[in-house]
């Protein structure tokens, strides 16, 4: 939430405030108070959170080191999974038999990284849940297509 925050990685250009004679515990408390003070700027905090969520769910790499054509093409391999995941979310309200519990880790990690740092690499911890929902979405689309084609209009 510091003044240099962008929603992306800034550790390489961030400077820690001086301890000014404070001990470790006091300095930690000072930094926490300062972070909460800066987080109280709700419009800015909301913009940062949205940027962090965008970075977490981005299909293409965010890091400057991974902007080559090969890295971009390789990252597009996950795009179909995300599309079927979105299709599953679209069908979710009409499918009460689907277990909503599987969405909890996805929502939890998305919100967690909206506060801290959003990055594709942090999405790895909940991608298995995304894949499960996407598989359900693909299965649901396929079964719906079979139902639609077997019933003439």
Looking at per-residue confidence, does 89 or 141 come out higher?
89
Q: Which two tokens stand for residue 146?
A: 């079979």
Residue 117 contacts residue 9 (beta carbons within 8 Å): yes
Q: How many Å apart are CA 73 and CA 56, to the nearest integer?
A: 18
Looking at per-residue confidence, does 2 or 56 come out higher?
56
- Say yes or no to pLDDT of 107 above 60: yes
Q: How many Å apart are CA 55 and CA 25, to the nearest integer?
A: 32
Q: Which of 55, 29, 25 is nearest to 115 (CA)?
A: 55
- Say yes or no to pLDDT of 99 above 70: no
- Say yes or no to pLDDT of 51 above 90: yes
Residue 129 contacts residue 82 (beta carbons within 8 Å): no
Handedness of CA 6, 11, 14, 16 (dihedral sign): positive
Q: Which residue has the tokens 């769910």?
A: 57
Q: How many Å apart are CA 86 and CA 95, to the nearest integer?
A: 14
Q: How many Å apart are CA 150 and CA 153, to the nearest integer?
A: 9
Q: How many Å apart are CA 107 and CA 149, to the nearest integer?
A: 35
Residue-level pLDDT at 98:
54
- Say yes or no to pLDDT of 42 above 80: yes
- Say yes or no to pLDDT of 87 above 60: yes
Residue-level pLDDT at 65:
82
CA angle 86–55–98, rounded 5-degree value: 25
Question: Using 50, 70 and 90 to split pLDDT, how confident is the model at 152?
Answer: low
Q: How many Å apart are CA 85 and CA 35, to the nearest integer?
A: 35
Residue-level pLDDT at 16:
75
Residue 105 contacts residue 132 (beta carbons within 8 Å): no
Mean pLDDT of 128-146: 83
Looking at per-residue confidence, does 100 or 127 come out higher?
127
Which of 70-74, 125-129, 143-147 comes out lowest in average pLDDT?
A: 143-147
Q: Model's pTM, two decimal places?
A: 0.76
**Average pLDDT of every residue of the chain:** 83
């Amino acid at each position: 939430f510091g003044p240099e925050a962008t929603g992306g990685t800034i550790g390489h250009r961030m400077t820690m405030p001086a301890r000014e004679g404070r001990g470790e515990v006091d300095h930690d408390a000072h930094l926490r108070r300062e972070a909460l003070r800066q987080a109280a700027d709700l419009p800015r905090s909301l913009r940062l959170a949205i940027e962090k969520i965008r970075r977490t769910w981005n299909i293409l790499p965010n890091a400057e080191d991974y902007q080559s054509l090969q890295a971009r093409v390789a990252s597009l391999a996950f795009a179909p999974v995300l599309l079927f995941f979105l299709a599953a979310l679209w069908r979710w309200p009409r499918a009460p038999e689907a277990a909503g519990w599987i969405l909890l880790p996805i929502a939890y990690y998305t919100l967690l990284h909206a506060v801290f740092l959003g990055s594709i690499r942090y999405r790895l911890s909940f991608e298995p849940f995304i894949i499960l929902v996407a598989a359900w979405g693909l299965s649901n689309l396929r079964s719906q297509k079979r139902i639609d084609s077997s019933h003439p209009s």
